[in-house]
């Protein structure tokens, strides 16, 4: 490792950093700014996805396309996942654009309170990883399908409608955040 790292043998420092940043496993790469504020907790995923570091320092994107390398983030807390039929190349991008303003609004609201956003936002196309996720969570094959998955709570919330609109997404998120939705077990 040519970069600055905490030696594995330094248990005291590792333990303090684990508590400070909520680290639960290794390897972990957290990117900080000059003031010590977290830019991203997903440095490892970002390095794997951006090997030439073109997007460094990897400020979080409001909406991510669900991939094998970032699927680990589904375990970090509740995640809104909009499943789409990605055989149509434009559908995935249109889905991102549909939920991005809502994601940005939620992120900004919690950032103003100096809190982490209570949801991550994803668009999932059609691939083996998405099929495995649908199987694991027992979700129907419908597309579009709007869900909130909370893997740690082993719960899912599903909005199966013909057409997903910004109003539907916003109401779904608002109801979730207000604890108005009934969870289904995963």
Do residues 43 and 31 touch, judged by C-beta distance below 8 A? yes
- At 59, the pLDDT band (50, 70, 90 cuts) reads confident
Q: pTM for this one? A: 0.80
- Distance of alpha carbon 9 from alpha carbon 71, whole angstroms: 30
8 has a pLDDT exceeding 90: no
> What pLDDT sits at residue 21?
86
97-155 pLDDT, tens per residue? Answer: 999 999 999 999 998 998 889 999 999 998 888 999 999 999 998 889 999 999 999 99
Average pLDDT over residues 22-38: 85
12 has a pLDDT exceeding 90: yes
Quick check: helix, strand or coil at residue 117? coil
Helix (H) or strand (E) holding 146: strand 145-150
> What pLDDT sits at residue 94?
92
List the single range of 47-56, 57-66, 86-95, 150-159 with lowest mean pLDDT.
86-95
Distance of CA 179 to the CA centre of its chain: 20
156 has a pLDDT exceeding 80: yes
Do residues 153 and 183 touch, judged by C-beta distance below 8 A? yes
> What pLDDT sits at residue 97?
95
Higher per-residue confidence, 76 vs 102:
102
Q: Are strands 145-150 and 79-83 parallel, antiparallel or unpaired?
A: antiparallel
Helix (H) or strand (E) holding 166: helix 166-177
> What pLDDT sits at residue 87?
64
């Amino acid at each position: 490792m040519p970069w600055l790292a905490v030696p594995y043998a330094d248990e005291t420092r590792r333990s303090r950093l684990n508590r400070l940043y909520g680290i639960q496993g290794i390897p972990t790469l957290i990117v900080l700014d000059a003031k010590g504020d977290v830019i991203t907790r997903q440095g490892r995923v970002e390095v794997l996805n951006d090997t030439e570091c073109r997007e460094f320092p990897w400020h979080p994107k409001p909406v991510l396309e669900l991939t094998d390398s970032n699927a680990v983030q589904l375990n970090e807390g509740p995640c809104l996942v909009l499943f789409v039929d990605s055989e149509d190349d434009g559908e995935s991008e249109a889905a991102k654009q549909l939920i991005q303003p809502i994601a940005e609004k939620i992120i900004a609201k919690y950032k103003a309170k100096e809190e982490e956003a209570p949801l991550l936002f994803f668009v999932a196309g059609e691939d083996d990883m998405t099929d495995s996720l649908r199987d694991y969570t027992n979700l129907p094959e419908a597309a579009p399908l709007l869900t909130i998955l909370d893997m740690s709570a082993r719960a899912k919330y599903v909005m199966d409608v013909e057409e997903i609109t910004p109003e539907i997404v916003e109401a779904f998120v608002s109801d979730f955040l207000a604890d108005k939705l009934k969870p289904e077990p995963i």
